Amino acid sequence: MNEILVSFITVNYNGLGDTIELITSLKKTIKSISYEIIVIDNASRKDEISPLKELFYDINNIYFIKSDTNLGFAGGNNLGVDIAKGKYLFFINNDTYILEDNISFLIQRLESNEKIGGVSPKILFHEPFNTIQFAGFTPFTKYTIRNCIIGYGEPNNIKFNSASVTPYVHGAAMMFKKEVIEKVGKMPEIYFLYYEEMDWCEIIKRAGYELWYEPKFVVYHKESRSTGKDSSIKIYYHTRNRLLFTSRNLEKKRKNISILYQLLIANTLHSLKYIFRGKFKFAKAIIKAELDFLIIKNKTL
């Protein structure tokens, strides 16, 4: 048996159709390397493992893990890390797919310098097609903890074809050297959803590694299928987890200023905006997020 070079790890949560499309695209496209596929079912409402096993019985290196509870993004992926045999671990959302076998460019990028610990490919939206979702990140602002995705919403063109260092990789498609994960530990599970990969990137950078954007490999993303756009769940976790990220990663003085800004100014303004628009459940989600952050902070941070 050939040594496994890449472990593709994906989390399924009530997304059978998307997961089928992802696995099918990997099976049809990736021919240049040896790989395995690890699918973690994060307590979907129905049995989605059985149909996947039946459909992909002919793939030798495919493994399925069924979690009895929803462990969140990090917790689900970490189950895959526990059994992964690849030299490189590629975490990829189940609502993505690929069209070309250019994965060697990600491997080459990781191996081009021992200081490079992780890499994300160019990510394009499924709709509108050939539109940028990710071509790198800008750093977070000093106190407001906001940043931008380079190229977001712009047509895919030559200006996004240069590899570069990025402060963060993208959770929808990110590949790391296994040795880096063994050194720094698995993805932090305190977040459940959103910001866990950002926190992980900070841990990896503090260990002395760089993160890169490599555009020669492209992933197509359907975006927010599991949580929906503008959902109270999304607002809750973004609000709570930005505060958690701030508490865990900023130095004391800047951290305290940032938390006060978020609690007293930014989140208050967002809550009022939703109240004036009659979207009371969104305002409630922000308030609950703040309260839960303060509870977690007092207990663990």
Per-residue pLDDT of 92-128, as tens digits, reads 999 999 999 999 999 999 999 999 999 999 999 999 9
Residue 69 lies in a domain: yes
Same domain, 112 and 53: yes
What pLDDT, on the 0 to 100 scale, is given for residue 301?
A: 60
Residue 226 lies in a domain: no
pLDDT tens by residue, 168-198: 999 999 999 999 999 999 999 999 999 999 9
Strand runs labelled E in the chain: 6-12, 35-42, 62-67, 88-92, 96-97, 116-125, 131-134, 164-165, 173-177, 210-221
Question: Of the candidates 202, 221, 240, which is a domain's last residue?
Answer: 221
Residue pair 194/241 in contact by the 8 Å Cβ criterion: yes
Q: Give the DSSP per-residue string, 195-243.
A: SHHHHHHHHHHHTT-EEEEEEEEEEEE---TTT-TT-HHHHHHHHHHHH
Question: Of the candidates 186, 221, 256, which is a domain's last residue?
Answer: 221
What pLDDT, on the 0 to 100 scale, is given for residue 223?
A: 80
What pLDDT, on the 0 to 100 scale, is given for residue 1?
A: 47
Same domain, 152 and 266: no
* Domains of the chain: total: 2
Tell me the C-alpha to C-alpha distance, in Å, between residue 221 and each of 128, 159, 242, 280, 294: 10, 20, 23, 30, 34
Burial class of 279 by CB neighbour count within 10 A (0 to 12, 13 to 18, 19+): middle
Q: Write the single-letter amino acid at 14.
A: N
Same domain, 97 and 19: yes
Same domain, 156 and 71: yes
Residue 176 lies in a domain: yes
Residue 193 lies in a domain: yes
Query: pLDDT-based confidence at 225, cuts 50/70/90?
Result: very low
What whole-number distance in Å separates Cα of residue 174 and Cα of residue 161?
Answer: 17
Q: How far is CA 179 from the centre of its chain?
A: 19
Q: What are phi and psi of 62, to 5 degrees?
A: -130, 135
**Which residue intervals of 84-231 are DSSP H helices?**
104-111, 178-184, 196-206
Query: What is residue 67's three-state secondary structure?
Result: strand
Q: What are phi and psi of 151, to 5 degrees?
A: 85, -5
**Rounded mean pLDDT, 194-212:** 98
**Rounded mean pLDDT, 200-223:** 97
Supply 25's token pair: 């695209």
Same domain, 217 and 292: no
Checking if the pLDDT of 230 tops 80, the result is: no
Q: Please tell me the least confidently modeled range out of 51-60, 141-150, 196-205, 217-226.
A: 217-226
Residue 52 lies in a domain: yes
**Rounded mean pLDDT, 193-215:** 98
Instruction: Provide the residue range defining the domain that includes 164.
Output: 6-221
**Rounded mean pLDDT, 214-242:** 86
pLDDT tens by residue, 243-284: 999 999 999 999 999 999 999 999 999 999 999 999 999 999
Residue 1 lies in a domain: no
Same domain, 167 and 23: yes
Residue pair 117/185 in contact by the 8 Å Cβ criterion: no
Checking if the pLDDT of 66 tops 90, the result is: yes
Query: pLDDT-based confidence at 145, cuts 50/70/90?
Result: very high
Same domain, 111 and 237: no
What pLDDT, on the 0 to 100 scale, is given for residue 2?
A: 65
What pLDDT, on the 0 to 100 scale, is given for residue 226?
A: 46
Same domain, 60 and 191: yes
Same domain, 164 and 236: no
What whole-number distance in Å separates Cα of residue 242 and Cα of residue 293?
Answer: 10
CATH of residue 89's domain is 3.90.550.10
Residue 97 lies in a domain: yes
The Cβ-side half-sphere exposure at 8, using a 13 Å CA radius, reads: 27
Other Cβ atoms less than 10 A from the Cβ of 78: the count is: 21
Same domain, 165 and 237: no
What whole-number distance in Å separates Cα of residue 65 and Cα of residue 79?
Answer: 8
Residue 296 lies in a domain: yes
What pLDDT, on the 0 to 100 scale, is given for residue 150?
A: 98
Handedness of CA 77, 153, 139, 157 (dihedral sign): positive
What whole-number distance in Å separates Cα of residue 124 and Cα of residue 170?
Answer: 12
Same domain, 160 and 294: no
Checking if the pLDDT of 149 tops 80, the result is: yes
> Nearest to residue 107, comparing CAs of 169, 35, 177, 208?
177
**Rounded mean pLDDT, 37-57:** 97
Checking if the pLDDT of 162 tops 90, the result is: yes
> Nearest to residue 4, comparing CAs of 87, 79, 120, 66?
87
Question: Of the candidates 192, 221, 250, which is a domain's last residue?
Answer: 221
Same domain, 243 and 269: yes
Place of tokens 């394009």: 124
> Nearest to residue 125, comparing CAs of 160, 148, 95, 164?
95
